[in-house]
Amino acid sequence: MVVQAKKRELKEAQRRKKQLEERCRQEESIGNAVLTWNNEILPNWETMWCSRKVRDLWWQGIPPSVRGKVWSLAIGNELNITHELFHICLARAKERWRCFSAGGPDVDSEDAGFSAADREASLELIKLDISRTFPNLCIFQQGGPYHDMLHSVLGAYTCYRPDVGYVQGMSFIAAVLILNLDTADAFIAFSNLLNKPCQMAFFRVDHGLMLTYFAAFEVFFEENLPKLFTHFKKNSLTPDIYLIDWIFTLYSKSLPLDLACRIWDVFCRDGEEFLFRTALGILRLFEDILTRMDFIHVAQFLTRLPEDLPADEVFASIAAVQMQSRNKKWAQVLTALQRDSREMEKGSPSLRH
């Protein structure tokens, strides 16, 4: 018994030593990457961001200490939003909250086309959604250190884009940005991110365009995973069942936060195509399990993915996905489908109503 106990002790000591060595290797790797990003890449962003070396580093994951800066640069600021504009929108949002709290009228000439009921519903939904944003972290809820920041970004956005307002799921995107950027810069990144074609199609619930995105996704689904594609078709499992939640929150609600941030890293590099490539990577990773499930179990599984997903396995699966169908890339397939959709609408008066 003493010999066995000593053997077990030795094994455990070896296991701990290996873990420590691995942790040291990871820390050294992150430290080296931080130096590379800070000293080489960020000062020469315009010339270096699309180089092979930087693209490879990007795929490995951006170090948390430079992640916010890289995301801001990659997302860009096509809308030319300034910190001053953020503070103007925030002041307007605060005034609106004050008016609603006091039960007074909310008069704003810039929002003339939007009813008070719509605006109030937006503000109420923000309050409700914040309480459900990363509840396990306990930092965004009432009294938490990031609650006011999240409330500010979302409130300011409803004033900046009253035509879009607040849509469920936005809180997760804003929360991830707030964890990596200060409030004003998070607002700038948030507004520009939501202005991208894919995000705008989903958040404005443009059904026609959403269906086009789903159709493009299915082209690559059938190309990469024909067996699973057939199984899904047979069981009437349409992409909206699982993709809507993934796209609306950019995977931040569906995946562990660390992994979701890695997905965001490459999404900032590759754009909307990577969101759909990630979806195919997830389906590929669980193909064997999913082909044995019926409609209900597949829907349940994909809307509540395992919480202990190893990042390396997920990225290996994504890397194996080919985003090319009959020599056409994602953008070409999507453009062709959009053109077909427009032509159908022109040719059919019933589709125009």
Nearest to 289 by CA among 201, 203, 225, 207: 225
The domain ranges of the chain are 83-106+113-195, 199-346
| 37: Cα within 13 Å, side-chain hemisphere | 23
Count helices and strands in the chain by DSSP H and E runs: 19, 2
Q: What is the DSSP string of 85-112?
A: HHHHHHHHHHHHHHHHHHT-----GGGT
| Fold agreement between 83-106+113-195 and 199-346 | no
CATH number of the structural domain 83-106+113-195: 1.10.8.270
> Is-contact 126 171, C-beta < 8 A?
yes
Residue 331: the pLDDT is 94
Q: Which of 130, 123, 81, 74 is nearest to 98 (CA)?
A: 123
Cβ–Cβ < 8 Å for 186, 177: yes
Strands 328-329 and 324-325: antiparallel
d(CA 125, CA 146): 18
State which residues of the chain have pLDDT below 70: 1-2, 5, 12-29, 102-121, 347-353
Distance CA 181, CA 192 (A): 14
79 token code pair: 């809308």
Structure tokens at 116: 């008070």
CB 265 within 8 A of CB 58: yes
How many Cβ atoms are within 10 Å of 214's Cβ, its own excluded? 18
Could you tell me which residues are beta bridge partners of residue 328?
325
> Cα angle at 37 between 35 and 39, to 5 degrees?
60
pLDDT (0 to 100) of residue 350: 37
CB atoms within 10 A of CB 138: 11
Q: What is the dihedral of CA 40, 43, 47, 51, to 10 degrees?
A: 30
Give residues with Cβ within 8 angstroms of 297, minimum separation 6: none
Q: Which amino acid, one-letter code, is at 244?
A: I
Token duo for residue 272: 């909307």
Ordered DSSP codes for 263-291: HHHHHHHH-HHHHHHHHHHHHHHTHHHHT
Of the candidate CATH numbers 1.10.8.60, 1.10.472.80, 1.10.10.10, 1.10.1040.10, the domain formed by 199-346 belongs to: 1.10.472.80
What is the model's pLDDT at position 154? 96
